[in-house]
Structure 1
C-alpha cells in the first residue's frame, strides 16, 4: 500500500531486491551497555500510527527496559522501497520497520529480514488473522508480524437505492437483481461505477471461484488466468461492468473515482476503500452538497459468506542486521499483541483492521468500518513471492487481460496470453 492511511478516520479511512550482505552475530540485549543508553530505532510510515498510541507502546516498553529508549522515525511511502533496500544492506539499519504487506516477501527472499519462525509463540502468532498472516510468511518461515489491513466494500447512495426499492444484497444474484432495478428506476444514473481494470476487485472474484492469479509449480510460479475459474470470475466482472459507463481500459484511479467521478453525481454505487469514501464525502461537501452513503460487503456466491477481498496493509519486521534483535522482538510482541492492537483499533476508530479479530474496535452501525470488518474473514492477498512486484509493474498483464475480455476477446485466449507474461515476470527476482 502506498497511500497515507489515517485520513478520514471518522468514515474509516484506509488505505498502502534487498542486497543483504550477510547477517550480524550480535543478537542484541535487553540490557543497555555500561555507561550509556541503548536506542531501539523503529521506522513507521507517516499516517500509520496515532502518535498517542505509539507513545503509550514505547512508554510501556521503556518502563520494562531501564536505559533503553525507543526512537520512532516516520517515513514517506514515496521512495520507501529504495530507502528500505539501502537501509537493510547497511551495518546499522533500523531495528524494526513497517513494510507494505505485498512488499515483505521481496525483502525476505534476499536475507534482509530476521527469521522470526522460532519466535511465533512469543509474538502471539496463533491469534493473528490468517489472511494477514499469509503475507508475513514465505516458504514456511515467518519474517514479520502482520500489523493492520483494510479492504474494499460497496459504497452506495442511500437515496438512489431507496428510490429503486433496493436493499443491500447478500449474494451475487441479489446484487445483479438490485442493479437491474436501479437501471430501470433511473436511466441517467449508473447503477454501479466500475472501471474495466479494477483488478483487485477481480482478484476477489477469482478467489471466490477457487482460483488464483498465480500458483506455485514446483520451484517456479505460473500465471493462472487461463483457467476455468478465472474465466468464470471474469464473466461475473463483465456482468457488473455492463451496468457502468466507466472506461474499460482504465482503473479506479484514472480518473480517481472518489474525487473526480462520484462527486459529480449520477453514480448509485461503487467499490472502494475507506479513504476513498472519506475523499468523496469531502469533495461533495466542498461542492455544496452532502453525501448520504451506505456500505455493504462485496456479496459472495451464497449468503453465508461475503465475497473474497484483497487485504492491503502493513507488516512489522526486524532487520537481519539489527544489533538489538532481542529487544526488537520484545517490542514487536508488545506492539502487535492483543492489548495494544485493541487500543490501536480504538485509536483509529475501526478505520483499519487490527492483526487479530479479537482486537477489533466495535464500529458504528451502518459505517464503512462495520462493512469492512464483516468482509475481513474473507480477506486474502496476492501470491506471496518476491517476483509478484514484477507482475504489478506497468503495463500490468492482469489489467490488459480484463480490457481484452470486456471488449469481446475470449477469456481463455486472453488469459493464456496474460499467463505467459505473468509467468515470465513472476519468476524474475
Structure 2
C-alpha cells in the first residue's frame, strides 16, 4: 500500500457535506420552533404540536427505502437534485400556511424531501470517499449534521423570539436554498460495471427496498437511538429540574466541541485498526456519560457528561453507518444507507414515545441514570448482531488490511 493516502477533501466531498449541513440546519430550525408556533400562534394542543414532528419523521421513514431503490435506477445525482428541490419548495410553503391541517400536509411533503435527500447524501458520500479513509470520511460527513444540531436550535429559537416566526421561516428557506446550490456542484462517479440499462433491468421485489446486510448494525443503532432520543427531547427539561438552566444551552456546544477535537483521530483509528476497536470503547464512554448525566448536580458534572456522550455516541453513530455501508456491495450502498437511517429513525421515534411515558412516572434524572445500564447492555447487543462478525480477519468489505 502506498504511503500517500488518497484525497478525501475533494470538491464533491466538500459540496455534499455543505449541502448536508444546510439540510439539517433547516431541519433543526423547524424542529424546535414549529411546536411552539402551533401552541402559541395556531392555538393548537400539545398532541398536535407533537404531530408536526411525528408526521415529518413518518414520511421520511416511509420514503427512504424507495429513495435508495430510485438511486440504483436513476443515479444519485438526479435523486439528490430532485429531493433538494422538493425540500426547498416545501420550505417555501410554510410561508403560505396558516392552518393546522395545511401545516401537517406541508410537514408530510417536507419529510419526503428530507428522507430522500438524507438517503441521497449518505449514499453519495459512500461512493466518493476512498475505501482506505471510509471511517474518517464518514465521520467528517456526519459531523456536518452534528454542527447543525448545535447551531440550528440556537439560531432558530433566537430568530423566532427576536424577529418573529416569519423571519425564522425565511431563514429556513434560505438555508434550504443554499443546500440546493451546494448540491448542484456534486457529481457522482458511476460504479464499475453499472450502466443506465443495467440499473433499470429486473422485476420489482419488496425485498429490494432493504439491504439485508445492513439490518444487523441498523438494529444495533436503533437500540442506542432510544437513549439518544431522550437526550434530544428532554435534556433541557432535565437541566431546568436540576437547577442547571444557566448551562443547559451549552450541553450541545460541548458535545460538538468534543466531536470537532476527536473526529480527526477516531475516524483514522477506525480505518487503521478495526470497527470493534472503536465501537466497544465508545459504548463504554456513552454509558459513563449517561451515568454522570443522571447524577449531575453541578454545571461541571453536567458538561462533563455532555463531553463523554459526545465522544461516545458521536463516535458510535458514524461508525455504525460506515459498517452498514461497508457490509453492502458497492451498487447497494445507497440502499444500505436508506436501510440504516430508516431503522435508526424508528429507534428515535420509539425512544421519544417510551421516554415520554416513563417521564410521567419517574424523574428524567432517574431515567438517565438507569439508561447507563441499558447502554452497557448494548455491548452484548452489538457483539451478537455485528461485533462477532468483525473479529480479526473478518472485516467488512471496503476495509483494507494495513
Q: Same fold (TM over 0.5)?
A: no
Structure with bigger gyration radius: 1
Structure 2-normalised TM-score? 0.25
More strand as a share of residues: 1
More helix as a share of residues: 2
Structure 1-normalised TM-score? 0.24
